[in-house]
Amino acid sequence: MNYMIALNGEKPPVLGDFVKGVGMIRSEYLLRNIESYITTENAKKYVEEYVAKVCEFYKGKPVWYRTSELVAPEVNVLQGADVVLEEKHYVLGTRGVRRGLKYKETFNKELQIISILSQKYNNLNILLPYIKDVDELDEILYMLKKNNFAGKCGIMLEIPSVFIMLEEFLKRKINNITIGINDLTMLTLGTFRDSEYHEPCHPAIIKIIRDTVDNVKKYRSDIEVNVAGYISETFAEMIKGIGTDNLVVHYKDMPKICNLSEDLFPDMDFVSGVKKLTKSRIKEREEKHAMYNG
């Protein structure tokens, strides 16, 4: 099985030819780390410099930049938040490309950064999270064209509608389908990630992965099918024979899943630190809100 790494702001590790590239840069962690939204000059500069560094480091290998995947409470606590949304069910709300297409001016700032970098780095590509239909894809492809984006475009298969309408997506100009097992499991099995019913190894999830691979290879052999998420060793073993092109493994999971030394990964606590920071900021905001409305 081939492996790609998922980065969140960590220093790229030296892994030689062990990884085939960067399966995704989870850009939301870049923003959460500096507590600034993409509307600010600080965030634009930080994202630009980090992505450029990763592209240089993995020269000759694909780097997939995933556009920011933030739920409303996470955006609300960032400096420069364009719109503050109070969503009760934010996990199913205005996130991923939904937010991007709702607030296009902000989304376009992010697309501009990556489009400009794509002119310099021919290994830089873009990945679209939480997409549900080809209408959304067509709109974003048009925006990318207007920005002279020079790389490839891929989509996340997280919402089951993408699987159901896969034939329509295969007619579009995409080169990557990355199956995000965390949200796919949640939305397919009707469960939350911390629930006892959250089973990425469930037969329904495995069937979606297998059928996606089979259909893509049958109709569009030029599209790579990757699997990403918080992957267990059991899950990794289960999908070995399915035919996915790459398993995209989170930085902190590389030692466990790929049997590599932890010494190669000095930033193991990076994501947990960012999560802790965001959680504390959300709690502070909620407490202030409760006090003002008490």
pLDDT (0 to 100) of residue 27 = 99
Using the predicted structure, report yes or no on whether residue 203 has a pLDDT greater than 70.
yes
**Interacting residues of 15 by C-beta distance below 8 A, sequence separation 6+:** 5, 254, 260, 264
Q: What is the pLDDT of residues 267-286, one digit of tens each?
A: 999 999 999 999 999 999 99
How confident is the model at residue 31, as a pLDDT? 99
pLDDT in tens, 3-60: 999 999 999 999 999 999 999 999 999 999 999 999 999 999 999 999 999 999 999 9
User: What confidence score (pLDDT) does residue 294 get?
Assistant: 63
pLDDT of residue 290: 83
Quick check: 65 and 124 in contact, CB under 8 A? yes
Among 46, 56, 50, which Cα is nearest to 25's?
50
Residue 244 binned pLDDT confidence (cut-offs 50, 70, 90): very high
Domain locations in the chain?
A: 3-292
pLDDT surpasses 70 at 130:
yes
Among 142-146, 189-193, 242-246, 248-252, whose mean pLDDT is lowest?
Answer: 189-193
pLDDT tens-digit readout, 79-112: 999 999 999 999 999 999 999 999 999 999 999 9
Contact of 275 with 250, CB cutoff 8 Å: no
Question: What phi, psi does 226 have (nearest 5°)?
Answer: -115, 160
The CATH superfamily label for domain 3-292 reads Phosphoenolpyruvate-binding domains (3.20.20.60)
Q: How far apart (Å, rounded) are the C-alpha atoms in residues 245 and 21?
A: 12
pLDDT tier, 292 (very low <50, low <70, confident <90, very high otherwise): confident
Mean pLDDT over residues 235-261, rounded? 96
Answer for the pair 37, 43: CB distance below 8 angstroms, yes or no: yes
Q: What is the pLDDT of residue 49?
A: 99
Residue 201 to residues 195, 238, 264: CA-CA distances in angstroms? Answer: 14, 8, 29
> Which string of DSSP letters, residue by residue, matches 35-89?
TB-TTSHHHHHHHHHHHHHHHHHTTTS-EEEEPP---HHHHHTSBT-S-----TT
Asked if pLDDT for residue 291 goes beyond 90, the answer is no
Give the rounded percent of residues in the chain with a pLDDT score beyond 90.
95
Q: Under a CB-based contact definition with an 8 Å cutoff, are residues 31 and 78 in contact?
A: yes
Q: Report the chain's mean pLDDT, rounded to a whole number.
A: 97
DSSP 3-state of 6 = strand
pLDDT confidence of residue 293: 73
Q: How far apart are CA 280 and CA 287, in angstroms?
A: 11
Using CA atoms, how far apart are residues 73 and 15, in angstroms rounded to an integer?
A: 35
- For the segment 168-178, the average pLDDT, to the nearest whole number, is 98
Residue 218's Cβ-count burial label (10 Å; 0-12, 13-18, 19+) is exposed
Best CA proximity match to 96, nearest among 140, 33, 147, 151: 140
Instruction: Enumerate helices (H) and strands (E) in the chain, giving the number of each.
Output: 13, 8
Q: Is the dihedral of CA 250, 256, 257, 258 positive or negative?
A: positive
- The pLDDT of 223-227, averaged and rounded, is 98
CB burial of residue 222 (10 Å; 0-12, 13-18, 19+):
exposed
